[in-house]
Amino acid sequence: MRKLSSLENTSVPTIDGYMMRSVETYNMSRSKRPLVAVGLSLLLFILALVAVIVMAVILSQSDTVEGKTATGPNEQKDTQTYKCNSPVCISLAAEMSANLDLTTNPCDDFYQFACGGWLNKNVLFREQPQRSVTNVLQDRAIIDLKKLLEADVKPTDRDYIKKAKDYYASCVSHGSDVRGYSPLVGMINKEFGGWSLVTNQWNESTFDAEKMVATASRLSIDTICTFSVVIDYRDRITRVLRVDQPKFVLGEREAALDEQKLKEYQELITKMSAVFDIVNENATKSQILDVVQFEKNLSMISAIMPYGTNNPFSISRMQERYLTSAFDWKKFFVSVTSAPEIGIKNITDDEIIFRGPNAYFLSLKTFLLGVSKRTFSNFIIWRVLLAYKNILDFTNRDPKRLRLVTMLPDNEMLCLESMAIYENMKWASNGIYVRHIIQPSDREPVLSLVSRIQAAFNESVDNLDWLDNASVQWVKEKNANMKTKVFYSEQTFNETALDNYYFNMTFSRQTYLENVVTLNKESFDNMVRLFRVPNNPDDSWSFLPIIVNAIYKEDMNSIEFPAAFFQAPFFSRHFPNYINFGGIGTVVGHELTHGFDPVGVNYNKDGSIGRIWNQSFTDNFKNRTQCLTEFYNKIYVKDVNKALNGTSTLNENIADNSGIRQSFRAYQDWQKSSGQQEATLPGLNYTQNQLFYINYAQTFCTLIERTELLQQISTSYWSPARVRVLGPLQNSGDFSETFNCPTDSPMAPKHTCTVW
pLDDT digits (tens, 9 = 90+) for 230-261: 999 888 899 999 999 999 888 766 667 788 98
Which whole number is the average pLDDT over 593-601?
97
Query: What does pTM read for this prediction?
Result: 0.84
Average pLDDT rounded to a whole number, residues 320-334: 96
Asked if residue 427 has pLDDT above 70, the reply is yes
Q: How far is CA 447 from CA 541, 561, 594, 638, in A?
A: 17, 11, 18, 41
Residue 354, strand partner residues: 242, 312
CA distance 405 to 422: 17
Q: Comparing C-alpha atoms, which of 342, 468, 430 is closest to residue 161?
A: 430
Q: Is the separation of the CB atoms in 559 and 37 below 8 Å?
A: no
Answer yes or no: are the C-beta atoms of 426 and 635 closer than 8 Å: no
Would you state the pLDDT for residue 306? Answer: 61
d(CA 158, CA 165): 11
Q: What is the pLDDT of residue 305?
A: 65
SS3 of 230-298: EECCCCCCCEEEEEECCCCCCCCHHHHHCHHHHHHHHHHHHHHHCCCCCCCHHHHHHHHHHHHHHHHHH
CA distance linking residue 355 with residue 588, whole number of Å: 37
Name the strand (E) or helix (H) holding 315: helix 315-322
Single-letter residue type at 661 = R
298, pLDDT greater than 70: yes
For residue range 379-405, list pLDDT tens digits in order: 999 999 999 987 877 644 444 444 444
Residues 6+ apart with CB under 8 A from 470: 614
Tell me: the pLDDT tens digits for 452-486? Answer: 999 999 999 999 999 999 999 999 999 999 999 99
Q: Is 308 left (phi over 0), alpha (psi -120 to 50) or beta?
A: left
What's the pLDDT tens digit per position in 191-230? 999 998 988 888 889 999 999 999 999 999 999 999 999 9
Name which of 313, 316, 329, 311 is nearest 365 in CA terms: 329
pLDDT band at 68 (very low <50, low <70, confident <90, very high): very low
Span of 51-65, 67-81, 392-406, 689-703 with lowest mean pLDDT:
67-81
Q: Rounded CA gap, 22 and 280, in Å?
A: 42
- DSSP bridge partners of 11: 19
Query: What pLDDT is stored for residue 1 in this prediction?
Result: 60
Main-chain dihedrals φ then ψ at residue 194, nearest 5 degrees: 105, 175
Q: Residue 74 pLDDT > 50, yes or no?
A: no
Q: What pairs with residue 313 in β-bridges?
A: 353
Phi-psi region of 406 (alpha: psi -120 to 50; beta: other; left: phi over 0): beta
Q: Is the dihedral of CA 220, 431, 403, 442 positive or negative?
A: positive
In this structure, what are the phi and psi dihedrals at residue 466, rounded to the nearest 5 degrees?
-95, -5
Q: Rounded CA gap, 472 and 582, in Å?
A: 27
Please list the alpha-helical segments (H only) found in 342-491. 358-369, 373-393, 410-417, 426-437, 443-462, 469-480
Average pLDDT, the chain: 86
Which of the four pLDDT bands, split at 50, 70 and 90, describes residue 277? confident
719-737 residue pLDDT tens: 999 999 999 999 999 999 9
Q: Hey, is 6 helix, strand or coil?
A: coil
Task: Classify 309 as helix, strand or coil.
Answer: coil
Q: What percent of the chain has pLDDT over 70?
A: 86
675 or 5, which is more confident: 675
**What domains are there in the chain, each with its CATH number?**
29-123+615-756 (3.40.390.10), 182-401 (1.10.1380.10)
* Distance spanning both ends of the chain, measured CA to CA: 17
- Classified as helix, coil or strand, 507 is coil
* Nearest C-alpha neighbor of 516 from the set 171, 172, 211: 171
> How are strands ordered across the β-sheet holding 483-487?
483-487, 558-562, 551-553
**What's the pLDDT score for residue 620?**
95
Q: What is the pLDDT of residue 59?
A: 43
* pLDDT surpasses 70 at 75: no
- Strand ranges (E), 501-631: 551-553, 558-562
Give Cα separations from 128 to 374, 591, 698, 719 (angstroms).
45, 27, 20, 19
| Length of the chain in terms of residues written | 756
CB-CB neighbours of 278 under 10 Å: 15
Does the pLDDT value for residue 376 go beyond 60?
yes
As a whole number of angstroms, the distance between CA 124 and CA 580 comes to: 28
Q: Nearest 10 degrees: CA dihedral of 4, 6, 11, 15?
A: -40
Q: For residue 226, what is the DSSP state?
A: E
Residues 6+ away with beta carbon under 8 Å from 702: 115, 130, 131, 132, 133, 720, 721, 722
